[in-house]
């Protein structure tokens, strides 16, 4: 794996850590390693350590094994191709971004309000459509908890 490929893998891993957060926060490296070890079959050759994962995250670990990529893919719930195929990575990233957005409290609140408005009047759907279009034209600024880049 070249330096460019190593950095691409690092970027894709970072994206997973940022977007796959079932605990409501980023996983630690050790949590990922422990999670992988917990589901591996005995003799599966699981040799991923927190140090090795850190090197992958920093683009400094050349040539991760297919087994390592499979383990990471299984842990994060993405296809193995995510790590090596740009088209698969783009599609997976789009799906993860959508899931994360749908889990955000604002989205749930807006959806509940929209459902209530739509059920109250014949013009409800038009009101909901108008709200969505206005929101699309005027995106909010990121909140204080938003990641800074």
The pLDDT tens digits of the residues spanning 110-138 come to: 666 666 655 555 556 666 666 666 766 66
**Whole-angstrom Cα distance, residue 57 to residue 12?**
9
**Whole-angstrom Cα distance, residue 124 to residue 47?**
56
**Whole-angstrom Cα distance, residue 100 to residue 103?**
5
pLDDT bucket at 33, cuts 50 / 70 / 90: very high
**Whole-angstrom Cα distance, residue 41 to residue 61?**
24
Evaluate if residue 105 carries a pLDDT over 70.
no
127, with CB counted inside 10 A (0-12, 13-18, 19+), is middle
Residue 140 is predicted with a pLDDT of 56
Evaluate if residue 100 carries a pLDDT over 90.
no
Of the ranges 69-73, 95-99, 120-124, 128-132, the best mean pLDDT one: 69-73
The answer to whether 33 and 49 are in contact (CB under 8 A) is yes
Query: Which one has a higher pLDDT value, 68 or 133?
Result: 68
Residue 149 is predicted with a pLDDT of 43
């Amino acid at each position: 794996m070249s330096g460019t490929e190593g950095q691409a893998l690092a970027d894709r891993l970072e994206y997973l850590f940022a977007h796959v957060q079932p605990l409501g926060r980023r996983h630690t490296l050790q949590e990922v390693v422990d999670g992988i070890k917990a589901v591996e079959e005995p003799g599966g050759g699981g040799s991923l350590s927190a140090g090795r994962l850190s090197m992958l995250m920093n683009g400094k670990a050349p040539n991760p094994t297919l087994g390592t990529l499979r383990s990471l893919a299984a842990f994060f719930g993405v296809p193995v191709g995510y790590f090596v195929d740009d088209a698969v990575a783009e599609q997976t990233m789009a799906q993860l971004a959508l899931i994360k957005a749908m889990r955000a409290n604002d989205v749930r609140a807006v959806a509940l309000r929209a459902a209530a408005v739509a059920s109250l009047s014949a013009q409800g759907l038009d009101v909901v459509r108008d709200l969505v279009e206005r929101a699309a034209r005027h995106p909010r600024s990121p909140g204080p908890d938003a990641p800074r880049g």
